[in-house]
C-alpha cells in the first residue's frame, strides 16, 4: 500500500520552499561573507586529467555558514622534510538556491549546476584562499523531499603560478606577492606602460605574453624602464622566456620598447634560495679530499 497522502509532504513544494527560506535566512544571520572564485580550465592533461594552468577571473560575494566552530580541521601545522607545512581544512555550507542565483544562472563556474572541486573560496578572517576538495550535496538528507544546501570541504590553497585576475585587490595581491617574477629592461620606449596590462613579444612563431606588476623609470637614461612581469604564457602553452633585442608591446597602452636585458631570477623576499646557496659554505669544508681515512688514503 502507498503512504498516507495526508501526511506525505515530500512532494509539497510550498513546504520545501519554506524550509529553504529559513535556511537561507539562518545563513544570512549566522554566516560569513566570502568570495567564491570559479575555476576556468585552460589546458587539461589528457593523461593525468588535471589542469596545471587554471585561471580565476571572477570573484562573487556569497554568504556561507562555517561548520568548523572549534577551528580549522585537517592536519594543521607541522614540520616535514620539506619544511613547515600548513594543511588547514574548513567545511562551509552554502544554500543551493543562493549558489544557483549568484553563480550558475549568471554564467559563472562550470556546467554542472553545483559548486565544483577546484574552485576557490577567499576566507576573510585569515585572508587566505581555500580550494574545494569535495562537495557533499546530501549533508541534510532530503528535508521535506528536497536538498537545500551544499557542504564544501576545503583545504588551504597552495599557490603555484595560477592566474588570478578578479578585480578584487586583496585577492589579486595573492598572485602578485607569490607568483614567480621576471624583469625586463626596456630602452627606446614610446608611450607609457601601465600596471596590470598584458604585454606581448613575438618570438619566432610564438607570441609571449605577461602581466605588468611594476614599471620603474631609469633616472639616468631617457625613455628607459625596468618592468616586472608575472603570469607568463605563450600561444602554444609551452614556457618560453622573453628575449633581448626584440620589441615588447603593451596590450592596453599600446606602448612599445626594445628589450635590452632579461632577469629571470626575481624572487620574493620571503624566499630563502640565496641563504641555502651561501650559508653552508661557512661550516662545510668542501676542500677536504679525504675526510674518512685520517690521511692513509
Q: What is the CATH number of the domain that holds 197?
A: 2.40.30
Q: What is the mean pLDDT of the chain?
A: 85
The C-alpha cell that represents 190 in the structure block: 614610446
pTM for the predicted model, two decimal places = 0.79
Q: Is the pLDDT of residue 271 over 70?
A: no
The parent domain of residue 138 ranges over: 13-174
Closest residue by Cα to residue 208 from 260, 243, 175 = 243
237-263 confidence digits (pLDDT tens): 555 678 888 899 999 999 999 999 888
Residue 75 placed within a domain: yes
Residue 51 placed within a domain: yes
What phi, psi does 58 have (nearest 5°)? -135, 145
Residue 287 placed within a domain: no
60-110 confidence digits (pLDDT tens): 999 999 998 888 888 777 777 777 777 899 999 999 999 999 999 988 887
Residue 27 · residue 64 · CB < 8 Å: yes
Q: Specify whether 260 is located in the same domain as 226.
A: yes
Specify the pLDDT at position 1.
62
Q: Specify whether 235 is located in the same domain as 266.
A: yes
137-154 confidence digits (pLDDT tens): 998 888 888 899 999 999
Residue 5 placed within a domain: no
100 sits in the region (left: phi over 0; alpha: psi -120 to 50; else beta) called: alpha
- In this structure, the strands spanning 55-56 and 163-164 are parallel
Q: Residue 77 pairs with which residues in a beta bridge?
A: 86
Distance CA 25, CA 42 (A): 37
Specify the pLDDT at position 191.
92
Distance CA 172, CA 256 (A): 25
Q: Specify whether 87 is located in the same domain as 187.
A: no
The C-alpha cell that represents 18 in the structure block: 519554506
Last residue of a domain, one of 174, 206, 233: 174
How many domains, the chain? Answer: 2
9-64 confidence digits (pLDDT tens): 787 888 889 999 999 999 999 999 999 999 988 777 778 777 767 889 999 999 99
Name the residue with cell 597602452: 253
Q: Provide, rounded to the nearest whole percent, the portion of the chain with pLDDT above 70.
A: 87
Q: Specify whether 24 is located in the same domain as 55.
A: yes
Q: Specify whether 149 is located in the same domain as 20.
A: yes
Name the residue with cell 617574477: 181
* pLDDT (mean) for 185-200: 92
Higher pLDDT, 254 or 281: 254
Higher pLDDT, 109 or 124: 124
The C-alpha cell that represents 169 in the structure block: 585587490
The C-alpha cell that represents 71 in the structure block: 577551528
Beta-carbon contacts of 197 under 8 Å, excluding residues fewer than 6 positions away, are: 211, 212, 250, 251, 252, 253
Q: Specify whether 34 is located in the same domain as 161.
A: yes
Residue 68 placed within a domain: yes
Q: Specify whether 27 is located in the same domain as 68.
A: yes
Specify the pLDDT at position 240.
65
Residue 228 placed within a domain: yes
Q: Which residues of 24-40 are buried (b: 16+ CB within 10 A; e: fewer)?
A: beebeeebeebbbbbbb
36 sits in the region (left: phi over 0; alpha: psi -120 to 50; else beta) called: beta
Amino acid at each position: 500500500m502507498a503512504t498516507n497522502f495526508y501526511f506525505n509532504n515530500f512532494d509539497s513544494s510550498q513546504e520545501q520552499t519554506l524550509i529553504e527560506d529559513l535556511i537561507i535566512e539562518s545563513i544570512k544571520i549566522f554566516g560569513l561573507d566570502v568570495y567564491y572564485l570559479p575555476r576556468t580550465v585552460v589546458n587539461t592533461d589528457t593523461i593525468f586529467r588535471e589542469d596545471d594552468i587554471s585561471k580565476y577571473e571572477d570573484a562573487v560575494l556569497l554568504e556561507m555558514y562555517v561548520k568548523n566552530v572549534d577551528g580549522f580541521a585537517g592536519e594543521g601545522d607541522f614540520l616535514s622534510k620539506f619544511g613547515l607545512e600548513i594543511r588547514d581544512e574548513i567545511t562551509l555550507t552554502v544554500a543551493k538556491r543562493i549558489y544557483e542565483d549568484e553563480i550558475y544562472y549568471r554564467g559563472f563556474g562550470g556546467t554542472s549546476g553545483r559548486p565544483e572541486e577546484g574552485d576557490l573560496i577567499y576566507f576573510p578572517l585569515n585572508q587566505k584562499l581555500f580550494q574545494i576538495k569535495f562537495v557533499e550535496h546530501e549533508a541534510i538528507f532530503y528535508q521535506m523531499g528536497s536538498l537545500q544546501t551544499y557542504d564544501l570541504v576545503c583545504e588551504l590553497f597552495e599557490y603555484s603560478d595560477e592566474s588570478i585576475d578578479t578585480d578584487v585587490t586583496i585577492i589579486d595581491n595573492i598572485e602578485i606577492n607569490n607568483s614567480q617574477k621576471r624583469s625586463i629592461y626596456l630602452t627606446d620606449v614610446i608611450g607609457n606602460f601601465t600596471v596590470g596590462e598584458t604585454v606581448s613579444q613575438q618570438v619566432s612563431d610564438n607570441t609571449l605574453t605577461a602581466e605588468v606588476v611594476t614599471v620603474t623609470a631609469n633616472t639616468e637614461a631617457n625613455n628607459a624602464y625596468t618592468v616586472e612581469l608575472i603570469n607568463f604564457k605563450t600561444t602554444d602553452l609551452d614556457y618560453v622566456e622573453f628575449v633581448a633585442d626584440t620589441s615588447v608591446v603593451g596590450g592596453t597602452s599600446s606602448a612599445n620598447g626594445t628589450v635590452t636585458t632579461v632577469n629571470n631570477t626575481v624572487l620574493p623576499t620571503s624566499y630563502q634560495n640565496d641563504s641555502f646557496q651561501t650559508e653552508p659554505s661557512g661550516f662545510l669544508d668542501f676542500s677536504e679530499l679525504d675526510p674518512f681515512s685520517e690521511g692513509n688514503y
